Structure 1
């Protein structure tokens, strides 16, 4: 009788461990899916930037410093490893700030603001920025779910055994990156 009880208990514990393992795998996959969504939106933004820079360059050629900064930051972002969440977050924050300065420069050029091409590019960039925010929220929610499971008992026992690790949030850490850019002419 005791042998059956022990056997039943071992089977129940094994099934429970398998279920916890599968939950951790699912959460890790959701984090990877979320990061993929962010990556796609960031690539869309990076692909739009050269057209935006060229359009502004045609109207505001003496604003070369701002244009060069945007181009340089775009290149820097593209050179970062795909899985460097913290590095990408910092670089993307700097790029967003540079794009803000670029649009502030555009405010000084009525012909540029009236250009349909610039207007279309600006709207596309706004749409992409909204998509990036939605993808970021999804990713950070998936990260939260994984991190809670990795740290919570009893799933932390399985997570430690099978080397599941906490994931990094995609967030802006530098307060200056959150600030609205100031442009002086």
Structure 2
């Protein structure tokens, strides 16, 4: 278990945690570490929500929190990420909810694969130029279902992007009118 005391390590630049020996919730005091440049928490039993403020740490350029037990929704600061942040990998957790349509900044890659999301934010395909977010949002192996809108289905570029970002989904989920073949998922 990580202690709230970690927030006193104000000179910390890299936080690397790996392995099942770590459990409990992420301390909210991590968001006090204004010199953090990289966070990598992989393959742990750390659970609960991602604390507010982590995604907007001023110097952070990469955040990886994958293969853990994180749950809930993305913190609200996903819409105000640090100006240096280029990659967020939150794959293989239990995250859910809706992604806001106002993610901006220098973020190039947002990995939300293998979670419990039920909807892909189509506006990140159809309104890229307007939104100010030029990155990619990967959401395969979630619980996305429904019908692909005709505007995307009949646009070769947009349907190709949607296929890249969302195919395949968890077993029993997927788009009813997807033009790509169904894959038997586990």
Greater RCO (CA < 8 Å, at least 6 residues apart):
1
Answer 1 or 2: which has greater strand percent.
2
TM-score normalized with structure 2 length: 0.21
Bigger-Rg structure (1/2): 1
Answer 1 or 2: which has greater helix percent.
1
TM-score normalized with structure 1 length: 0.21
